[in-house]
Amino acid sequence: AQKVTQAQTEISVVEKEDVTLDCVYETRDTTYYLFWYKQPPSGELVFLIRRNSFDEQNEISGRYSWNFQKSTSSFNFTITASQVVDSAVYFCALTPSGSARQLTFGSGTQLTVLP
């Protein structure tokens, strides 16, 4: 069984603050993928990143960075210098690698960035 936990239901920050969204997962699979998706008010889920379970390198993309720690089963997402346009629901998700199986989503974190 797989499970993804996003303990932060809602986070509110002021523009230009840094914010970290937490994601903890459980899986019995030895190889798997982790993802982050952004869902703005328009409703479309936007793919942000995929991380393979055997690649623990952290990744930075502009203001976004991801910290994958297999030892603690965590895949946290940090937004640096947040902007109002970052306001959205962010979902962390998990799937076994090499299969067309469903994504196991966390419950999502609603991020509100105030001007």
Partner 1 sequence: DAMVIQNPRYQVTQFGKPVTLSCSQTLNHNVMYWYQQKSSQAPKLLFHYYDKDFNNEADTPDNFQSRRPNTSFCFLDIRSPGLGDAAMYLCATSRVGVEQYFGPGTRLTVT
How far apart CA 8 and CA 36 sit, in angstroms, is 15
DSSP bridge pairs for 114: 14
Q: Mark the segment that binds partner 1 (CB under 8 A) among 14-22, 61-69, 75-83, 96-104.
A: 96-104
Q: Is 1 in the site for partner 1 (CB under 8 A)?
A: no
Applying CB under 8 A, the site for partner 1 has a residue count of 24
Which distant-in-sequence residues (6+ apart) come within 8 Å of 111 by Cβ? 10, 11, 12, 13, 19, 21, 79, 82, 86, 87, 88, 89, 90
DSSP bridge pairs for 50: 35
Residue 16 or residue 101: which is nearer to partner 1 going by CB? 101
User: Under DSSP, is residue 3 helix (H, G, I), strand (E, B) or coil?
Assistant: strand
DSSP bridge pairs for 92: 36
Q: Is 46 in the site for partner 1 (CB under 8 A)?
A: yes
Indicate which single residue of 3, 17, 18, 50 sits in contact with partner 1 (rule: CB under 8 A).
Answer: 50
Residue 79 or residue 96: which is nearer to partner 1 going by CB? 96
Residue 50 or residue 63: which is nearer to partner 1 going by CB? 50
Q: Is 61 in the site for partner 1 (CB under 8 A)?
A: no
By CB under 8 A, name the binding residues for partner 1: 33, 35, 37, 42-47, 50, 91, 95-103, 105-108
